[in-house]
């Protein structure tokens, strides 16, 4: 894995991905805690000041590539790409498993849902992971009932690797199924 400097802002289809600022985060918070957004999140309602602090702190974290998505200056969503070590034998301290994986996430303002923005955000972050950061594998997960989310992953060519039967607790629905998707760098390049 490379620790290349990532340049921001960066294009994401029709969108632009920017590093978080207090102003942009305030605009995210206008919709972030709405029930139609939190319904499919593990971390449901967030406390605004803690949310701002975590996002602003992420800028200095070389393993966190979180961004705010804008369309013509309007905040329409967020994306996250968090690097981590793959499973590996620890007696090889600088082995290729260090920083070889990433976890992908995205969130869309309900006013902009269904317009392809999640796909644009995720595609741009997959490109960042594989083409610039040298990650070998990216994963993403969702509740199985969150059809919109898993359709984004499948549209991007990610493969469903796990169908966890009643492995996820949902406040409204009880124990429900969860999906895990993944993509390897060579699959991205073959794309």
Which residue numbers in the chain have pLDDT < 50?
1-3
Please report the pLDDT score of residue 172 as a whole number.
Answer: 85
Whether residue 158 is contained in a domain is answered as yes
Please report the pLDDT score of residue 4 as a whole number.
Answer: 60
Please report the pLDDT score of residue 92 as a whole number.
Answer: 67
Whether residue 4 is contained in a domain is answered as no
Whether residue 3 is contained in a domain is answered as no
- Do residues 185 and 130 make contact, with C-beta atoms less than 8 angstroms apart? yes
Domain count, the chain: 1
> Sign of torsion, CA 143 36 153 73?
negative
Whether residue 65 is contained in a domain is answered as yes
- CATH of residue 122's domain is 3.40.630.30
Task: Give the domain extent around 118.
Answer: 10-190
- Do residues 124 and 172 make contact, with C-beta atoms less than 8 angstroms apart? no
- Do residues 70 and 10 make contact, with C-beta atoms less than 8 angstroms apart? no
pLDDT digits (tens, 9 = 90+) for 138-189: 999 999 999 999 999 999 999 999 999 999 888 888 999 999 999 999 999 9
Whether residue 5 is contained in a domain is answered as no
Please report the pLDDT score of residue 183 as a whole number.
Answer: 98
- 89 φψ region: left (φ > 0), alpha (ψ -120 to 50), beta (else): beta
Whether residue 2 is contained in a domain is answered as no
Whether residue 142 is contained in a domain is answered as yes
pTM here? 0.92
- 99 φψ region: left (φ > 0), alpha (ψ -120 to 50), beta (else): left
């Amino acid at each position: 894995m490379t620790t290349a400097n990532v340049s921001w802002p960066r294009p994401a289809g029709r969108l632009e991905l920017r590093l978080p600022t207090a102003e942009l985060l305030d605009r995210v918070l206008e919709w972030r805690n709405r029930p139609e957004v939190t319904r499919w999140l593990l971390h449901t309602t967030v406390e605004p000041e803690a949310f701002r602090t975590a996002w602003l702190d992420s800028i200095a974290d070389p393993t966190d590539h979180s961004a705010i998505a804008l369309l013509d200056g309007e905040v329409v969503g967020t994306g996250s790409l968090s690097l981590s070590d793959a499973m590996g034998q620890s007696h090889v301290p600088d082995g290729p498993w260090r920083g070889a994986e990433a976890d992908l996430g995205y969130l869309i303002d309900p006013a902009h849902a269904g317009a392809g923005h999640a796909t644009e955000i995720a595609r741009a972050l997959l490109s960042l992971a594989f083409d610039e950061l040298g990650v070998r594998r990216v994963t993403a997960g969702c509740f199985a009932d969150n059809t919109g989310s898993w359709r984004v992953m499948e549209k991007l060519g990610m493969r469903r690797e796990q169908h966890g039967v009643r492995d996820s607790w949902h406040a409204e629905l009880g124990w429900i199924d969860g999906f895990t998707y993944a993509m390897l760098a060579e699959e991205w390049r073959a794309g």
